[in-house]
């Protein structure tokens, strides 16, 4: 069952009922000011950091669960309704929500009054602009009242939920222009240099800034007293819960429309210009911001600018094939999700509260892989930011806070895969741009410039960390965990409440990871290539010798007969082996070792992928492990803490499905690679939205596995490494346009009957118009013609100064 449809020409997903199985959300903002917004207008706004600088309140873990948003109420005689249906939930006569790239719109009607709402964050301002147009379609004139509503968060979202003894006394506001402009200035009197503003471009007939006054002490936003009475109270908040609400009485003749523009902004002032007069905030910048969006034409042109920006970004990789769903995902939604994950890492979604996790070290490095072609300059800065939090021995904080860019140990350190992801991200950046200068940038350790090294020096630390932290089988030590945060082999937690991520020793001398072995082979080689590019052949040779040792260990101690072992635990027992009672096979080493090339020549790779197909595959995707753990294993940690079929315990953890799909392309299996691609691909499962539940335009972290009661149900949508890895899979391996250090390589691996396709790829200042003919085969370029000349091999030779490449390729 579907709850909407894709409008590919408009680059939008159209939701036709507010009652989606879960809130279906969108992200507004591209740089520093962001909002999450659901199809019923729930959500919240923050500047830079969802924990430390949150502008509006959201209530996670509440009922109903999409609780609080930036709402408009329309009172038309005795009927009160919202364009997004929530929070009043009056049955609407019509409803449509469109989520576009960085904006959302609603078109709803009730009793012959219609409302059109557009909400977006303009390109270069720290504000969210909402344009609302009310139209009277009745035969008689209408007198309606429009109310706005936002509830302020007292900035630190974590503290805001806990520290009531203080917070209920600190709230402060200012109101100007007869109530049209409301300022939230809590803590501005002391150490903050920022305030928020919510203004409307018209005269108002009332306002409120106190939540209790507006709602009535015992009411929720679903039945505000002020709206019921048709009149705001004009109360100035002092402590408790400050809000901002405008009341506008609107008379409309039959057929008449009126438009209002509301702007919610964030303003920072320098220390010496904080005040206009004693106790009165300096509003200069706020006034300028509100003035900028005070008329419809400037709002429309700011939206046009945003749309052009996205069109430009999406023209960097564009495919036309006979497969509409592939085109839609590649050209629109997958790349859009890559931008969102790059911006947010795992910090703020409807499943990530914005107070737990900042920018993950491994997460952000992987997000780069799907984002780097879009805005390489931002990727470059991100690499430097991440590397700046690394420790001198190469290990890493698991996350850093976006506002301060400093690592913190709140969710641990000592995840031994972390260091290698830095090589992955840097190599992807250089293959995309050719910019070797980044390797010579001086980058601090743990933000301490006195111990800086070049970025290449950091990569060496990453490489050496793994090379020198090996266990009894010559495999890399796992530390607290590797990519699978829940494989806590040194933790031995026996008491509830102990964090699996921080409890116990950060490293034991025995527990090893075959997955990290796969990573080391893949990214160790990429490190060696970088060393060569810098002319350091001795280092490249040394690196390759280290890689060889781990490769051999993976093929021996890491091999279980039919598939790769997952790990060795702290007692040196196998994890993910036929010898185990539960958890006999895990997906990660099969996907990653094979995509790294391990066991391809030896015939192990074919076997490993066959085993994946036999033991882990389902109709909704490939599960992370089988059989799922039915009891808690002290020696394995969190992985066995989840009920079977959920999350890391046998869920379809979408992130590693593309690894297996890529691995299949390495072996030339286009049919199977594509089959795996399709199973978790949103556009392909849109039809089963009532089972899948999460948004049909983006990937979710997890789909419940076959052992779970709700097999096929998605959870944790939006912020997942699945976005980047799937884009890498489809764009670089299946469609086969892969950036190498020497130029673009063309080597697709597609299913039989996929048909001919063409790709436009902008790369290092040139445009490549690539057309691929499929003569029935799945893989293997038999002819490559570049600007009329046949070339041998797969790589399009890069020629300085050539701006257009016409490339004709033939498979089979």
Of the pair 662, 735, the CB lying nearest ligand GLC is at: 662
Residue 658 near residue 732, CB atoms below 8 Å: no
Which x/- pattern over 183-212 shows residues binding ligand GLC (rule: CB under 6 A)?
------------------------------
Specify the stretch interacting with ligand GLC by CB under 6 A; choose among 202-210, 292-300, 358-366, 727-735.
358-366
Specify the stretch interacting with ligand GLC by CB under 6 A; choose among 95-103, 202-210, 278-286, 354-362.
354-362
State which of positions 494-513 bind ligand GLC (CB under 6 A): 501
Least distance in angstroms from the C-beta of 516 to ligand GLC: 12
State which of positions 220-249 bind ligand GLC (CB under 6 A): none
Of the pair 288, 634, the CB lying nearest ligand GLC is at: 634
Distance CA 452, CA 747 (A): 40
Distance CA 173, CA 185 (A): 5
Specify the stretch interacting with ligand GLC by CB under 6 A; choose among 126-134, 241-249, 480-488, 566-574.
480-488
Least distance in angstroms from the C-beta of 89 to ligand GLC: 33
Does residue 346 bind ligand GLC (CB under 6 A)?
Answer: yes
Of the candidates 193, 185, 167, 156, which has an alpha carbon nearest to the alpha carbon of residue 54?
Answer: 156
Of the candidates 653, 662, 680, 655, which has an alpha carbon nearest to the alpha carbon of residue 729?
Answer: 662
Q: Contact with ligand GLC (CB under 6 A): which of 371, 465, 483, 733?
A: 483
Least distance in angstroms from the C-beta of 487 to ligand GLC: 8
Residue with tokens 């085969």: 777
Specify the stretch interacting with ligand GLC by CB under 6 A; choose among 311-319, 356-364, 489-497, 734-742.
356-364
Of the pair 148, 349, the CB lying nearest ligand GLC is at: 349
Name residues whose C-beta falls within 8 Å of residue 495's C-beta, 6 or more positions apart in sequence. none
Of the candidates 203, 286, 200, 283, which has an alpha carbon nearest to the alpha carbon of residue 245?
Answer: 200
- Which are the catalytic amino acids? 485
Distance CA 451, CA 391 (A): 10
Specify the stretch interacting with ligand GLC by CB under 6 A; choose among 176-184, 298-306, 359-367, 579-587.
359-367
Residue 692 near residue 681, CB atoms below 8 Å: no
Which x/- pattern over 621-640 shows residues binding ligand GLC (rule: CB under 6 A)?
-----------------x--
Question: End-to-end CA distance of the chain, in Å?
Answer: 39
Q: Which residue's beta carbon is nearest to the bound ligand GLC?
A: 485
Beta-bridge partner residues of 622: 617
Of the pair 328, 346, the CB lying nearest ligand GLC is at: 346
- Residue 26 main-chain phi, psi, to 5 deg: -140, 165
Residue 489 near residue 566, CB atoms below 8 Å: no
Residue with tokens 């523009």: 261
Least distance in angstroms from the C-beta of 617 to ligand GLC: 20
Q: Contact with ligand GLC (CB under 6 A): which of 35, 104, 427, 484?
A: 484
Least distance in angstroms from the C-beta of 647 to ligand GLC: 5
Of the pair 17, 502, the CB lying nearest ligand GLC is at: 502
Distance CA 264, CA 29 (A): 13
Specify the stretch interacting with ligand GLC by CB under 6 A; choose among 84-92, 482-490, 565-573, 802-810.
482-490
Of the pair 155, 415, the CB lying nearest ligand GLC is at: 415
Distance CA 38, CA 666 (A): 39
Least distance in angstroms from the C-beta of 187 to ligand GLC: 29
Of the candidates 304, 364, 306, 360, which has an alpha carbon nearest to the alpha carbon of residue 338?
Answer: 364
Of the pair 469, 647, the CB lying nearest ligand GLC is at: 647
Q: Contact with ligand GLC (CB under 6 A): which of 57, 184, 362, 470?
A: 362
State which of positions 106-125 bind ligand GLC (CB under 6 A): none
Cβ count near 409 (within 10 Å): 13
Residue 659 near residue 725, CB atoms below 8 Å: yes
Of the candidates 115, 178, 186, 132, which has an alpha carbon nearest to the alpha carbon of residue 156?
Answer: 186
Least distance in angstroms from the C-beta of 612 to ligand GLC: 18
Distance CA 536, CA 540 (A): 6
Distance CA 701, CA 722 (A): 7
Of the pair 546, 638, the CB lying nearest ligand GLC is at: 638
Least distance in angstroms from the C-beta of 386 to ligand GLC: 13
Specify the stretch interacting with ligand GLC by CB under 6 A; choose among 185-193, 360-368, 455-463, 533-541.
360-368
Residue with tokens 């009535």: 216
Beta-bridge partner residues of 174: 183
Q: Contact with ligand GLC (CB under 6 A): which of 485, 525, 539, 546?
A: 485
CA distances from 121 to 100, 101, 265, 303, 331 (A): 12, 11, 10, 9, 22
Is beta strand 737-740 parallel, antiparallel or unpaired with respect to 743-746?
antiparallel
Q: Contact with ligand GLC (CB under 6 A): which of 355, 486, 516, 580?
A: 486
Least distance in angstroms from the C-beta of 659 to ligand GLC: 12
Number of H helices, E strands in the chain: 21, 44
Q: Helices 376-387 and 455-468 meet at what angle, rounded to 10?
A: 60
State which of positions 692-711 bind ligand GLC (CB under 6 A): 701
Distance CA 208, CA 768 (A): 57
Least distance in angstroms from the C-beta of 343 to ligand GLC: 15
CA distances from 529 to 325, 441, 797 (A): 36, 18, 18
Residue 78 near residue 102, CB atoms below 8 Å: no
Least distance in angstroms from the C-beta of 701 to ligand GLC: 5
State which of positions 715-774 bind ligand GLC (CB under 6 A): 720
Of the pair 156, 722, the CB lying nearest ligand GLC is at: 722
Distance CA 209, CA 219 (A): 16
Cβ count near 608 (within 10 Å): 25
Distance CA 809, CA 641 (A): 50
Is residue 422 exposed (0-12), middle (13-18) or buried (19+ Cβ within 10 Å)? buried
Of the pair 334, 649, the CB lying nearest ligand GLC is at: 649
Least distance in angstroms from the C-beta of 655 to ligand GLC: 6
Residue 115 near residue 133, CB atoms below 8 Å: yes
Least distance in angstroms from the C-beta of 621 to ligand GLC: 15
Q: Contact with ligand GLC (CB under 6 A): which of 237, 306, 411, 734?
A: 411
Q: Contact with ligand GLC (CB under 6 A): which of 12, 66, 235, 363?
A: 363
Q: Contact with ligand GLC (CB under 6 A): which of 647, 679, 761, 779?
A: 647
Task: Give the interface size with ligand GLC as a residue count (CB under 6 A).
Answer: 16
Of the candidates 571, 592, 449, 430, which has an alpha carbon nearest to the alpha carbon of residue 511?
Answer: 571
CA distances from 336 to 26, 369, 429 (A): 10, 14, 19
Of the pair 357, 458, the CB lying nearest ligand GLC is at: 357
- 629 by DSSP, 3-state: which? coil
Q: Contact with ligand GLC (CB under 6 A): which of 235, 432, 525, 648?
A: 648
Which x/- pattern over 561-580 shows residues binding ligand GLC (rule: CB under 6 A)?
--------------------
Distance CA 65, CA 69 (A): 11
Specify the stretch interacting with ligand GLC by CB under 6 A; choose among 85-93, 326-334, 478-486, 560-568.
478-486
Q: Contact with ligand GLC (CB under 6 A): which of 360, 576, 583, 696?
A: 360
Q: Pseudo-torsion of CA 401, 362, 726, 689, nearest 10°?
A: -50
Of the pair 45, 401, the CB lying nearest ligand GLC is at: 401
Of the pair 484, 626, the CB lying nearest ligand GLC is at: 484
Contact positions toward ligand GLC, by CB under 6 A?
346, 357, 360, 362-363, 411, 483-486, 501, 638, 647-648, 701, 720
């Amino acid at each position: 069952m579907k709850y909407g449809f894709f409008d590919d020409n408009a680059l939008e997903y159209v939701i036709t009922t507010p009652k989606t199985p879960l809130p279906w959300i969108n992200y507004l903002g591209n740089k520093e000011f962001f909002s999450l917004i659901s199809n019923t207008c729930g959500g919240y706004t923050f500047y830079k950091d969802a924990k430390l600088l949150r502008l509006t309140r959201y209530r996670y873990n509440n009922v109903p669960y999409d609780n609080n948003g930036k709402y408009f109420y329309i009172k038309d005689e005795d009927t009160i309704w919202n364009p997004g249906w929530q929070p009043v939930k009056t049955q609407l006569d019509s409803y449509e929500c469109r989520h576009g790239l960085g904006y959302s719109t609603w078109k709803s009607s009730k009793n012959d009054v219609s409302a059109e709402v557009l909400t977006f964050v303009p390109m270069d301002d720290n504000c969210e602009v909402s344009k609302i147009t009310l139209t009277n379609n009745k035969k008689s004139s209408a007198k309606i009242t429009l109310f706005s509503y936002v509830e302020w968060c007292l900035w630190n979202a974590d503290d805001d939920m806990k520290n009531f003894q203080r917070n209920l006394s600190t709230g402060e506001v200012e109101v100007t222009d007869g109530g049209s402009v409301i300022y939230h200035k809590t803590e501005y009197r002391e150490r903050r240099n920022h305030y928020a503003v919510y203004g409307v471009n018209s005269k108002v007939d009332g306002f409120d800034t106190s939540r209790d006054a507006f709602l009535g002490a015992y009411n929720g936003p679903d039945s505000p007293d002020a709206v019921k009475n048709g009149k705001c109270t004009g109360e100035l908040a002092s402590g408790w819960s400050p809000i901002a609400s405008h009341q506008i009485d609107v008379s409309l003749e039959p057929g008449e429309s009126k438009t209002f523009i509301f702007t919610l902004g964030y303003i920072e002032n320098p220390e010496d210009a904080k005040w206009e007069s004693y106790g009165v905030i300096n509003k200069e910048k706020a006034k300028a911001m509100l003035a900028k969006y005070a008329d419809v034409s400037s709002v429309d042109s700011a939206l046009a600018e945003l749309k052009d920006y996205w069109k430009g970004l999406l023209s960097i990789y564009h495919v036309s094939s006979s497969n509409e769903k592939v085109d839609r995902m590649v050209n629109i939604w997958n790349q859009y999700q890559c931008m969102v994950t790059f911006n947010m890492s795992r910090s703020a979604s409807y499943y990530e509260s914005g107070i737990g996790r900042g920018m993950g070290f491994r997460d952000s490095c992987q997000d780069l892989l799907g984002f780097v072609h879009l805005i390489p300059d931002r990727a470059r800065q991100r690499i430097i930011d991440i590397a700046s939090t690394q420790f001198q021995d190469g290990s890493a904080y698991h996350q850093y806070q976006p506002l301060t860019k400093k690592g913190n140990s709140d969710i641990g350190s000592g995840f031994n895969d972390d260091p290698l992801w830095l090589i992955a991200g840097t190599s992807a950046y250089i293959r995309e741009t050719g910019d070797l200068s980044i390797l010579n940038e001086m980058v601090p350790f743990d933000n301490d410039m006195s111990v800086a090294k070049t970025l290449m020096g950091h990569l060496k630390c990453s490489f050496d960390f793994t090379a020198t932290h090996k266990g009894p089988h010559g495999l890399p030590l796992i530390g607290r965990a590797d990519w699978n945060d829940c494989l806590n082999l040194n933790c031995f937690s026996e008491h509830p409440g102990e964090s699996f991520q921080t409890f116990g020793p950060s490293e034991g001398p025995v527990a090893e990871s075959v997955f990290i072995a796969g990573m080391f082979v893949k990214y160790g080689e990429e490190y060696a290539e970088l060393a060569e590019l810098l002319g350091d052949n001795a280092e490249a040779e040394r690196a390759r010798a280290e890689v060889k040792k781990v490769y051999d260990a993976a093929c021996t101690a890491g091999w279980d007969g039919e598939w790769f072992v997952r790990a060795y635990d702290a007692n040196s027992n196998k994890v993910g082996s036929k010898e185990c009672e539960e958890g006999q096979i895990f997906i990660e080493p099969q996907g990653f070792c094979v995509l790294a090339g391990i066991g391809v020549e030896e015939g192990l790779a074919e076997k490993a992928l066959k085993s994946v197909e036999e033991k882990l595959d389902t109709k909704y995707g490939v599960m992370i492990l089988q059989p799922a753990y039915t009891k808690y294993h002290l020696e394995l940690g969190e992985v066995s803490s989840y009920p079977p079929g959920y999350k890391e315990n046998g869920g379809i953890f979408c992130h590693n499905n593309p690894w297996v799909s890529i691995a299949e392309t390495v072996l030339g299996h286009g049919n199977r690679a594509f089959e795996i691609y399709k199973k978790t691909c949103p556009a392909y499962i849109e039809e089963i939205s009532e089972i899948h539940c999460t948004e049909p335009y983006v990937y979710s972290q997890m789909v419940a596995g076959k052992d779970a009661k709700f097999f096929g149900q998605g959870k944790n949508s939006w912020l997942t490494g699945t976005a980047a890895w799937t884009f890498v899979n489809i764009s670089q391996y299946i469609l086969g346009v892969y950036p190498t250090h020497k130029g673009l390589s063309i080597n697709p691996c597609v299913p039989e009957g996929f048909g001919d396709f063409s790709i436009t790829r902008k790369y290092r200042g040139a445009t490549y118009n690539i057309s691929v003919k499929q003569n029935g085969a799945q893989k293997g370029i038999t002819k490559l013609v570049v600007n009329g000349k046949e070339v041998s091999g797969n790589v399009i030779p890069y020629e300085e100064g050539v701006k257009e490449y016409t490339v004709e390729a033939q498979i089979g």
